[in-house]
Structure 1
């Protein structure tokens, strides 16, 4: 039995078996027409009655499924019906000597794959008993004349037909089950990666909380010292102290946001207005970076951006600025393109220098990597990727053929689908 098949997938398997059964019914009618053309004397009405019984069973299975009958019970009922109807057909057309007797194998294999062991064994024993019964209870195989060579050729043709049908059935159905297995394996691999990422984030959260607690006192001390020095300093030193004061204020705000959990939401307003407000604060920390805007520059869809989005967004901006060379103290440029695409808000952050290795592209967002400037990939990308995933968004990093690295951020727009 395939344990990976959930109830929903078992419903799909039941439907697939019903489709195969309709195909077998069509093949049975075609075979009866061929036998009639060969002038074989068969009990036509009895054979048609057996096929009609199988058709009624195939119609009843979806009807019972819609009335909450267990799917595995319906699978067992359908496969047992296949065995019994095949036995009836063979009994009216030569018994065990009929080459179509090999068609007992597909239902037995399907039962071994889909049913619990007890039911699978019961189906196998039913097939063995039915096949054995055909040796003693059957109508003779009628031929037009007593030509033994013709009878042998007809038997060989029947064996080939049986083999062809069995191969087609087994290949179709087993391939379908293997496809389901591969999909499940892919889903499990994605779940394991997500679990690993979540475990890393939990560890980072604990460390961040400890760091926030440890930094609060030194920041308060530095703020007091900076305020006292401002009363006495003048000239260029005063400008440096004012910059230091602003930087300390940003550190305190970051700790307060961390302490509050960063789970609040902003006001509903156009996206470009929110970007302008947030980027104004970011510019004060990176004055040497020139941000070049493209695409949507004003207005945009009105939405409420979660407060957790901004740290993730600024991590990517900082990575791009570092890759562009701001860490050296020189002025640099970073490009930001804002667009709305089919129910998604898209923000492309592009710097024209550096590149990511194949290993970094493969692991981006899945594990923290050593920052290798100018690529600028580190723990910030992991945090940004996890945050955007929680918000229903996506993050993709690519090397630009013209040079540099492009980070593509996509967020779903409320009330729309992409």
Structure 2
């Protein structure tokens, strides 16, 4: 699993863009104010304050490639420098009465979103202390300047109201950032647990698929052994001892094959088509969890003997999975007085009839079972799909 991206490094890159935009906006604002108030000439300390805003960006640029474990600490230091730089600029531009002071809420909120509680509440205290300091001690603008009208020609009550609103916003944003960060951590832990559960489920599916595949590989030769032993016993002229040995081999093979085909034993002799296909879906899911099974036809149609039909469909499903199929379509329809069961798959791994027909003895077992059911099997192969068409006359 690939490591998570360094979120704090991403935040530091965004802060670089945010500070650059702020400096550009302030410079344009000063130029605009000069058009309305020609006597307003930014003093050297104001220009120095704008330059100070870029200092944290220089720190970020020089340390973006630091270790991921240091990125959070560096981001905290950077936000603190950002706060101090804005305080210096606000102190030069009229103090807390200047609307620019509300930019102090930006590093405060980012700290609450990215730093632990101690750092977030510590920066809140530093922000409120700095806001109070620049409110009491600051450089007064020129009395006849536009900046003076912006920051000084306000009532005392208005200044107190701005302070109350600032303190309230600072506290709410800090609390909100911590809550969002806590919810994000909880969501991340839930996602990690879900990923872990998904990994465990995938491993269980792999184990189940391996066991099911091994059971299929054992069941196929065992079924062949039962069929060969039964045919050999029909041969005339066999010694009685040999016939008894063949009977014992057949009985042992049937017993082991019966243990491997527990699903067959659970099916009643008569079963409707919908239930049979649903049992097939659950059975094949252990072997190929991603296989999509589509069932078409009358689900209430009764099929008997159900274990034999299930064995036919299961072997066709096994061969489809061996061919790398992702989709399996089972369709039941009536053609006059005969029933047609059509099984199609999109297995791309074996594109020729020789390759598909040679997949073990599964198809031979299907043909043997269908022969006992008085049904016929026709196989059609294409480079994009394969199809088995079974026809039989249902008992009246």
TM-score under structure 2 length normalisation: 0.49
Which is higher, the Rg of structure 1 or of structure 2? 2
TM-score under structure 1 length normalisation: 0.46
